Structure 1
């Protein structure tokens, strides 16, 4: 009896853990985010809030950056600083004109991101999941691109 229970628990554990390794949740539109969209590629991860003036100014730059990086194995993602969810997240993203993917689930723990109390803050994460840069304040597409290129050159 104990052996069967242990075997059953091992199987259940493997199934549960097998599906959790790289769970990035859903985006602002309720769509599941596949692991291959974030794993093994460089990421630009921006934290924003609706009440943040510099965030509002920065978003068109990040939209342009996301378009520029579309075919380069580099993803641009947003995270709402206030952790709004569901319809509220979709609405806030829409109001600010965000065209890149916004993660409903904050990946800070997955990437061991340092908590920032200031906004906007953007992290550049390499293809191994390591934080390479924390950019404080408003960024332009050109500034982020230059930083990405410099970091990739030293990779």
Structure 2
């Protein structure tokens, strides 16, 4: 009995630590954790952008609008800087682009099993089960993304 108690504690601690490793999507542009519980069971729209990309600049206001329209509807909209900008460089670009939705400071591609795109902008739509349902190349509109999402939500 004496040997089992420490083993149970060690296993419990290991499980807590392991679950903590996958419990979030990193931090957002405000330094706040983006917990997995915030997005579990939701549709995800993940957009990759770069400050040198003219179509990305045009697309961000549309994504701001989309995120506002889909608020509280089981959909999370995220942006990820394609070049991996961090710190003040990322903050400067966020201010310049006027993002009003969540910008992830860490790339979730590995976690979401997203392919690396050779072009920008690129937007991925992931279903609540974590399956990649769509990879959209080029500039998107709020209306176009909302329509595509609605179609995907109606498919089995």
Do they fold alike, i.e. is TM over 0.5? Answer: yes
Instruction: Give the aligned CA root-mean-square deviation in angstroms.
Output: 1.8
Structure 1 runs not aligned, ≥5 long: none
Which deviates further from its counterpart, 19-28 or 51-60?
19-28
Which deviates further from its counterpart, 10-19 or 139-148?
10-19
What TM-score comes out, normalization by structure 1 length? Answer: 0.92
Matched positions, count = 155
The equivalent of 2:82 in structure 1 is 81
Q: Is 2:49 aligned against 1:40?
A: no
Given the superposition, is the C-alpha separation of residues 22 and 130 from structure 1 closer, same or farther in structure 2, using an over 3 Å criterion? farther
The equivalent of 1:112 in structure 2 is 113
SS at match of 2:140: coil
CA contact (8 A) 2:24 2:33 kept: no
Q: Is 2:37 aligned against 1:54?
A: no
* Whole-Å separation in 2 of the counterparts to 1:83 and 1:115: 13
What TM-score comes out, normalization by structure 2 length? Answer: 0.91
The equivalent of 1:13 in structure 2 is 14
Q: Is 2:108 aligned against 1:122?
A: no
Which deviates further from its counterpart, 11-20 or 90-99?
11-20
The equivalent of 2:65 in structure 1 is 64
CA contact (8 A) 1:121 1:134 kept: yes
Higher strand fraction: Structure 1 or Structure 2? 2
The equivalent of 1:154 in structure 2 is 155
